Chains A and B, each alone.
Chain A
Amino acid sequence: MSGKEPVLEIKDFSVDYGLGDEGVQAVRDVTLTLHRGEVLGLAGESGSGKSTLAYGVTRLLPPPGVISGGEVIYHPPGGDPYDVMSLTNAELRAFRWAETSIVFQGAMNSLNPVHKVSTQMLDVIKAHEPDLSPEARIARAKDMLKLVGISADRMDAYPHQLSGGMRQRVMIGMALVLEPQIVIMDEPTTALDVVMQRQILAQLVELRERLGFSVLFITHDLSLLVEFSDRIAIMYGGRIVEEAKSADLYKDSLHPYSEGLLKSFPALRGPRKELAGIPGSPPDLRGMPTGCSFHPRCPHAFDRCSEEVPLLGIPSARNDPSRSVACWLPGRVPVG
């Protein structure tokens, strides 16, 4: 499943909204690695910076978003790694979709309402593989739609003629049509009903096995990630507060915030737990608490939490290099 070879390394990545005095930091010094072939889940409440991170990495963040620091190193299969942030616009355009594609939150609005599905599938193939003959392009698009369960005769449909589930399948098919290394999924199934969610996710698992891409899966629904992803990173207040293998996180979450998140969603399988929320609301980016930004809501907070920012590292009590946490609680303080 998850090899150790990295495909995308995010290093000290920061994103601001606005500049100068008006600027607020939405993502702070995030370091995260996506390995080849794995599904990495990124969870957090709205405003935690998870979507900002994903859009920042692809430089698709709308104004007033600016990338204020860090690197995003992409490892092409069999090539030299390079920093996505240092690409020129033309290079970035070539990189997009061919190496990293995105499935967006609202399938409803992700498709251009005035063009047929076929037009929108074909223009991306044409842009990246201009040498391919028109017939070959159409064949490729049809194959891909078939793979995601859309019959070829829907090629000529307009987006408004498709159901929500079909639109999202089209988007997934479109995301895979160039066989990218990485697919970023931003709440891809949130707008769909539960049955449709399951179907689409099951299909995604199958497609990943066949095509071997890596997935950065963003959602607020931690229970979905526990089941579906290999590793999970939890974000809060623009930082990653915990990172672990899904099973470890589910069984033994270390950060009080992860604990709270897990308790606030029903698990789809396994024993039923009582649902509980996290008191308080996500922090306002304009007035971040000092120290650990979670401390005002944390049931275990003590003096140090409001004074110093905990760094992400391997927790002292678990000698496990696959996990890391940013917390001052005894036994969880990073070693080294």
Chain B
Amino acid sequence: MSAPTSTVTTVSPEGPAVEAKPAKRRRLRFVANGKAATGLIVLGFFCLIAIIGPWIAPYDPSARSSDLIQPPSSEHWFGTTHLGQDIFSQMLVGTRGVMFVGLLAGLVATALSILIGVSSGFLGGAADEGLSALSNVFLVIPALPLIIIVASTIPGAGDLMVALVIGFTSWAWGARVLRAQTLSLRRRDYVEAARATGESTWRIITAEIMPNLTAIIASSFVGTVIFAIMSEITLAFIGISTISEWNWGTILFWAQSQQALAQGAWWWFVPAGLAIAILGTALSLINFGIDEFVSPRLRSSGHHHKTKDGQPIRMRVGFTPILPKPEQNATPVVRKKKEAAA
């Protein structure tokens, strides 16, 4: 005997009762994430420097002076080069190039990865096969050597050209992630429903799929910016991009070629490296924030909890913590051993 299909819809057997929060509140929560906020503030600072850097720089970064290889002083905050150039000014002026190339390359790569990843995931079939093969090829081929070769073959590659080369060679990772997510979204009920009711493909992609990809797009953009900045600085450091345009890599190029190390001129290469590391860390922090925003489980801070009376509780998979009992509720049952609450 088989049971007739239940027509009851009000008794839902399973499915979490988590309500979707309004988008605005969720966005606020992202900014409230400490890591993301720190990252955004630092990124904002560098963006500001990129804009106003050339105006507030105390010296012309290329201007020579008689103060050769001077350590940091009140006159030259970050010291001077072998030509007496002010390194602090070079840093300030160079920020613009770094940010410009990083953001532009990130934009180009992200646009490409959306175009290729989303259409690959959404179209399926032969188009998908072809596009994912393409992105896998670009993923496996070592990007940096390719960028180096292309950039060095182009005569007189400036910031714009470097940004485009990086953008066109580093979209593959984002495309891969977006494709996977689009594939899973495409099979969701509401997308199937939209297809069934004959909504246009374009509308489904823009209205149903894209909003659900925002976090992934953001994180792949940030990831590409990190990669682009590193690549750009590397190109400048090994002397491929034009050394007439100042950026942090150019500073390092001169420091390296003029044997700053051997001369003990640590101030020549420390500021640029630190700036790169701080900017990179800030971008990584933003990405951690996005990750934790998307899957709250990854949050590390969420694991040290305190009860109302301030006692620490350690959450642990497989051993659910027991809240300590208030004394007046003591039970008559003989306890064997009191387990430490830690």
Direct A–B touching, Cβ under 8 Å: yes
Report chain B residues within 8 Å CB of A65: 320
Q: Which A residues are in CB contact (< 8 Å) with B300?
A: none
- Interface residue? B274 (CB, 8 A): no
Closest Cβ neighbor of B316 among chain A residues = A63
A75-90 residues with Cβ-Cβ distance < 8 A to B are 82-83, 85-89
Which B315-342 residues sit within 8 Å CB-CB of chain A?
315-323, 325, 329, 331, 333, 335-339
Segment of B11-19, B169-177, B179-187, B200-208 engaged in the interface with chain A? B11-19
Q: Does B9 contact A (CB under 8 A)?
A: yes
* Contact residue among A47, A59, A83, A268 (Cβ-Cβ distance under 8 Å from B319): A59
CA of A92 to CA of B320, assembled, Å: 11
SS class of chain A's interface: helix, strand, loop or mixed? Answer: loop
The answer to whether B262 has its CB under 8 Å from any CB of chain A is no
Q: A279: which B residues are within 8 A, CB to CB?
A: 10
- Quote the shortest CB–CB distance from A328 to chain B (angstroms): 23
Name which of B40-48, B217-225, B303-311 contacts chain A. B303-311
**Contact A67-B12, Cβ < 8 Å, known A86-B336, A266-B4, A282-B17:** no
Which of chain B's residues have a CB closer than 8 A to the CB of A261? 11
Q: Which of B10, B13, B313, B339 contacts A86 (CB 8 A)?
A: B339
Q: How many residues on the A side are at the interface (Cβ–Cβ under 8 A)?
A: 52
Whose C-beta in chain B lies nearest to the C-beta of A285?
B17
Q: Is the CB of B11 within 8 A of A45?
A: yes
Distance A159 CA – B339 CA, assembled complex (angstroms): 37
How far does the Cβ of B315 sit from chain A's closest Cβ, in whole Å? 4
Q: Is A69 an interface residue (CB 8 A)?
A: yes
* Complex CA distance for A213 and B10, rounded to whole angstroms: 35
Asked if A276 meets B313 with Cβ closer than 8 Å, knowing A46-B13, A83-B335, A87-B336, the reply is no
Cross-chain contact A284 with B319 (CB below 8 angstroms) = no
B244 at the interface (CB under 8 A from A): no
Q: Given A261-B11, A264-B6, A266-B3, answer yes or no on A67-B17 (Cβ-Cβ < 8 Å).
A: no
- Interface residues as binary, A75-112 with B (CB distance below 8 Å gives 1, 0 otherwise): 00000001101111101100000000000000000000
B8 contacts the other chain (CB 8 A) = yes
Do residues A69 and B323 form an inter-chain contact, with CB atoms below 8 A? yes
User: Is A66's CB under 8 angstroms from B320's CB?
Assistant: yes
* Of listed B6, B17, B320, B331, residue having the most chain A CB within 10 A: B320
> What's the Cα separation between A83 and B307 when bound, in Å?
23
How far is it, in angstroms, between the C-alpha of A88 and the C-alpha of B338 when the chains are bound?
Answer: 8
Decide: B317 and A63 in contact? CB cutoff 8 A.
yes
A45 / chain B contacts, CB cutoff of 8 Å = 11-13
Is A322 located at the chain interface by the 8 A CB criterion? no
Cβ contact within 8 Å between A71 and B336: no
Q: Is the CB of A276 within 8 A of B8?
A: yes
Within the complex, the shortest CB–CB distance from B321 to chain A, in Å, comes to 5
Give Cα distance in the complex from A92 to B12, angstroms. Answer: 34
Q: When the two chains form the complex, which single residue of A46, A60, A266, A277 contacts B10, counting CB atoms closer than 8 Å? A: A277
Question: Counting CB contacts under 8 A, is A73 at the interface?
Answer: yes
B263 within 8 A of A: no
Q: Which residue of A is nearest B297, CB measured? A: A63
A280 adjacent to chain B (CB < 8 Å) = yes
Q: Does B74 contact A (CB under 8 A)?
A: no
Chain B residues contacting A61 (CB-CB under 8 Å) are 320
Closest to B338 in A: A86
Residues of A within 8 A of B302 (CB): 64
- In the complex, the number of residue pairs spanning A and B with C-beta atoms less than 8 Å apart equals 117
Q: Could you tell me the distance in whole angstroms from the C-beta of A100 to the nearest C-beta in chain B? A: 14
Is B1 an interface position by the 8 A CB rule?
A: yes
Asked if A220 contacts B339 (CB within 8 A), the reply is: no
Is B66 an interface position by the 8 A CB rule?
Answer: no
> Would you give the shortest CB distance from B116 to chain A, in whole angstroms?
31
Q: Which of B16, B322, B337 contacts A67 (CB 8 A)?
A: B322
B8: chain A residues at CB < 8 Å are 264-265, 275-277
For A62, the chain B residues whose CB sits under 8 A away are: 317, 320
* A56 shortest CB reach to chain B, Å: 7
- Fill in one digit per residue for B1-36: 1 if any A CB lies within 8 Å of its CB, else 0: 111101111111111110100000000000000000
A221–B11 alpha-carbon span in the complex (Å): 11
Q: Is the beta-carbon distance between A68 and B323 smaller than 8 angstroms?
A: yes
CA of A220 to CA of B305, assembled, Å? 33
| Nearest chain A residue, comparing its CB with the CB of B14 | A46
Question: What chain B residues lie within 8 Å of A277 (beta carbons)?
Answer: 8-11
**Of residues A47, A223, A261, which shows the largest number of chain B Cβ atoms within 10 Å of its Cβ?**
A47
Closest residue on chain B to residue A297 by CB atoms: B10
Among residues of A, the one whose C-beta sits closest to the C-beta of B340 is: A88
Q: Does A281 contact B (CB under 8 A)?
A: yes
| Contacting pair B6 A220 (CB below 8 A) | no
Task: Kindly state the separation between the CA atoms of A56 and B321 in the bound complex, as whole angstroms.
Answer: 10
Residues of B within 8 A of A336 (CB): none
Residues of B within 8 A of A16 (CB): 323
Shortest beta-carbon distance from A270 to chain B in Å: 11
Find out whether the CB atom of B323 lies under 8 angstroms from the CB atom of A46. no
Instruction: Give A69 Cβ to nearest chain B Cβ, in Å.
Output: 7
- Contact partners of A59 in chain B: CB under 8 A: 319-320, 322
Check if B306 sits within 8 Å of A19, measured CB to CB. Answer: yes
Chain B residue numbers with a CB within 8 Å of A88 are 337, 339
A94 to B16, CA, bound (A): 32
What distance in Å separates the Cβ of B93 from its nearest Cβ neighbour in chain A? 49
Chain A residue with the shortest CB-CB distance to B4: A266
- Asked if A1 is at the interface of the complex by the 8 Å CB criterion, the answer is no
| A204 interface hit (Cβ, 8 Å) | no
Smallest CB-CB A-B distances: 7 pairs: A63-B315, A277-B10, A277-B8, A61-B320, A59-B320, A67-B322, A264-B8
Q: A16-B323, A264-B8, A275-B6 are known; give 19 further A-B pairs, CB within 8 A.
A: A19-B305, A19-B313, A46-B16, A46-B17, A62-B320, A64-B305, A66-B315, A67-B321, A82-B336, A85-B322, A86-B339, A89-B339, A91-B336, A91-B337, A260-B11, A266-B3, A277-B9, A277-B10, A279-B10
> 9 A-B pairs, CB-CB below 8 angstroms?
A56-B320, A66-B315, A69-B329, A87-B337, A88-B337, A91-B337, A194-B3, A220-B13, A281-B10
Q: Which residues of A contact B (CB under 8 A)?
A: 16, 19-20, 45-47, 55-56, 59-69, 71, 73, 82-83, 85-89, 91-92, 190, 194, 220-221, 223, 260-261, 264-266, 268-269, 275-282, 284-285
